[in-house]
Each structure stands twice: as C-alpha cells, then as structure tokens.
Amino acid sequence: MLRHQKDTNPVESKESLREKKTLAAAEIATIDTRVLESCPNGYPRLAAFLSSESNFSLYRGFSFLHSRVLLELQAEIAALESELDELDEVDNETPAGKRRLRQREWDARTPRDEDGYRSRHEVLAQLRTKLVEYDELHIKARDLQAFQRPSERDYRSVRTWFWNLKPLVGNEAAFIKKKKDFVSLRVGRDWSGFDDIIESNLRRFDCSLMRRMFCTRELQEKTNDQHVYYYSASRVESFVDSIITSIIFVLLVLPVVAMYKLTSLGNSQATFNAIGVLVVFTLLFSVAMSMLTKARRHELFAASAAYCAVLVVFISNFSGSSLSDSGSGSMSH
C-alpha cells in the first residue's frame, strides 16, 4: 500500500499559524460601535446621542403629572373611605347591621335592606385596587425623585447639540426646554462642582494629548463631529481623585511643618501662633472638603473634627518636647 505524503515547509507553516493568530486577535478586538452620523437625523440620531454617554442620558421625570395622578387617586380613595365610613355608621344603627359589622360571612351573603348603598365587599374590593395602584405610583415617584439631577454642564451640552442638529421639530422639540423636569440615568458617584470644572477645562484645552489621555478608542469612534466630546468617566474620576489626594496631602503636611517650626522656638507666643495655624488650616480643610467633594454636613463635620484632632495631637507633642528640651537645658546650666 502506498502512502502519499505532502511536503510541508516548517517556515511557511509557522508563518501561516502566526498570521492566523494575528487575524484571530484582530477579530476578537473588533468592537461594533454605533456612530451618530450613521443614524438618520430625527428620533434615531437623538436616541443614539442620548445613549452614547451616560452624562447625556437625560429624560423628563414628569413630576407635575405624577403629582396630578397621585392627587386624583388620593381623591378617589378618600371618597371610597367616606363611603365605607357611612356604611359602617348605617349598619351600627340596627341589630342586623351590627351583625354585619361583626361577621364578614353574614355581611357578604345577606342582601341589604337600605336603598342606594353598595355592599361592603364591593367598596373594599375597589379600595384594594385603588390602594395598590396608589402605593405603586407612590413608590415609583419616590424612586424617580431619588434620581440624580443633570448638572448644568450636561444639560447645556445636550441643549447645544439639540439646537445645532435639530433632530425634532414642532411641539415635539419643546421638551428640551423643561430643564427643571429632567433626570439623569447616570449611576455612580454624584459629581461635585470641582469635577465639572475639570471636565470643562478638558474641553476648553482640547488637543490630541488630552484625547489620548482621557478618551478611549471606542469613544472616539462614536462620532465624527469635532464639537462633540467624549471623555472616559473612569479616567476623569481617577484624575480628579489624584488632584484631591494631592490637596489633602498638602493640607496635612504644611500645617505640621509650620507648627513644628513655631513650637521649636519654645515660647508662649509661638504656641499661640501654632494654634492660629491650626485654626486656619482646619478652615481650609473644611472649605476644600465642601468644594471638592459631595460630602454631607455630618460627614464634613466629622472629617473636620478628625483633622483638627490630628493637628492638636501634633501641637501637644511638639510643645511637650520643646518644654522638656528647654527644661533640661536650664538644669544643665
């Protein structure tokens, strides 16, 4: 039996294998990105723009309509409540009616003698339906109120894009003017004014270096419009965190060095000056916390108290060491 063998070149086989791996890696790395300009102008492009960046996901919350519907349901439930109370009062005036109040089965299967009154079962059934609807709407409205409100920068960006592209016309374009009714679908930390300042400056000093640092390749492929900026939220947050960390580090080191220099003089005036440094830097720390972060009042108070306590410990330690040094010097003299 004859065997036919193919002559294979090991160099060619390695090159073909390497080429296959390269093609496979390129295929795996390929990401399909929806480009804004590829969508027809109108609702398709508007939807593509609003979904292209979490900061642009702004939609109306319809808080006024929620209030109107809640008030309507509240009035309907109040009317049913009055009807149920009146039914209870009527039944409480007769022996047969009192039995209805004490025995649900008797109330359900015994017809009423009075005209113009529905059965208690009908009233309670309608109340149950209305209460469930009312409670669900209450919960949804509360959850909607907990959504983040769009920042001035985000709303202005969406409004500017809307004005330039004009994806909608007529009355359907009027919703963009309802600024106070918009909510943001963006999740994550609530950005402070300092974050907005940083991102605004990134847009102001936009260049190729800034885009390489703060914009991923996928974000760059979303649009060809040079007036639309996409920055990676994680990269901007990391940059802001590094700045805040540096500021806090400076606010911790500078007062310690200043108080050490003052308390090393070993007199009472230097100690009072060190206390003044403590007060000033504690105030600066509180201002920095309120401006750079979204800390709440109790968090701001706790952080300022802890910062002040740390500086007080340094003052006491430096003062004690300086007094001991001066005392030992006088004794040796």
Question: CA 250, CA 256: separation in Å to the nearest integer?
Answer: 10
Say whether both 67 and 123 belong to one domain.
yes
Tell me how crowded residue 300 is: count the other CB atoms within 10 A of its CB. Answer: 16
Half-sphere exposure (Cβ direction) of 90: Cα atoms closer than 13 Å: 15
| Residue 300 in domain | yes
- Only one residue has tokens 């918009």, namely 182
305 and 160 in one domain?
Answer: no
Burial class (CB in 10 A: 0-12, 13-18, 19+), 63: middle
Do 171 and 318 belong to one domain?
Answer: no
Does 119 map to a domain?
A: yes
What confidence score (pLDDT) does residue 96 get? Answer: 62
Integer distance in angstroms from the first to the last C-alpha of the chain?
Answer: 115
Q: Is the domain of 41 the same as that of 179?
A: yes
Query: Do 153 and 50 fall into the same domain?
Result: yes
Kindly state whether residue 86 falls inside one of the protein's structural domains: yes
Is there a contact between 231 and 215 (Cβ–Cβ < 8 Å)? yes
Q: What is the pLDDT of residue 176?
A: 94
- Give the structural domain span for 317: 243-325
pLDDT recorded at residue 127: 95
Show the DSSP H helices in the chain as ranges. 10-29, 43-52, 63-91, 95-102, 104-109, 120-145, 152-165, 193-204, 208-214, 217-220, 233-263, 268-292, 297-332
- Shared domain check, 321 and 188: no
Q: Do 153 and 56 belong together in one domain?
A: yes
Measured distance CA(206)–CA(94) in Å, rounded = 84
Examine the domain organization and report whether 162 and 98 are in the same domain: no
Task: Answer with the one of 88, 121, 145 that is the final residue of a domain.
Answer: 145
**Is residue 17 in some structural domain?**
no
Q: Are residues 103 and 127 in the same domain?
A: yes
pLDDT tens digits in sequence order for the chain, 333 residues long: 444 444 555 555 666 766 766 666 656 656 667 778 888 999 999 999 998 888 889 999 999 999 999 999 999 999 999 988 888 877 776 766 666 666 566 666 566 655 567 877 888 889 999 999 999 999 999 999 989 888 888 898 899 899 988 999 999 999 999 999 999 988 765 566 777 788 777 777 777 777 777 776 776 667 767 667 777 777 888 888 888 889 989 988 888 888 888 777 766 777 788 888 888 998 999 888 888 877 788 888 888 889 888 888 877 776 655 545 544 444 444
Say how far apart CA 321 and CA 252 lie, in whole Å.
Answer: 21
Which SS3 state, helix, strand or coil, does residue 148 take?
Answer: strand
The four Cα atoms 153, 154, 157, 161 give a dihedral, to 10 degrees, of: -160
Got the DSSP string for 45-92? Answer: HHHHHHHH-GGG-EEE--HHHHHHHHHHHHHHHHHHHHHHHHHHHHHT
- CA dist 86 and 236 (Å) reads 63
Asked whether residue 332 is domain-assigned, the answer is no
Considering the domain architecture, whether residues 210 and 278 belong to the same structural domain is answered as no
Q: Is residue 30 part of a domain?
A: no
115 within domain boundaries: yes
Q: How far apart are CA 263 and CA 322, in angstroms?
A: 7
Count of domains in the chain?
A: 3
Could you tell me the pTM of the whole model? Answer: 0.65
Distance CA 215, CA 222 (A): 11
Domain finish residue from 231, 260, 276: 231
What is the pLDDT at residue 327? 47
Of 117, 145, 173, the one marking the end of a domain is 145
Query: Does 22 fall in a domain?
Result: no
268 and 327 Cβ atoms separated by less than 8 Å? no
For residue 112, what are the contacts with CB-CB under 8 A and spacing of at least 6?
Answer: 119
pLDDT of residue 332: 44
Whether residue 154 is found in the same domain as residue 227: yes
* pLDDT at 166 (0 to 100): 92
Residues 188, 52 within the same domain? yes
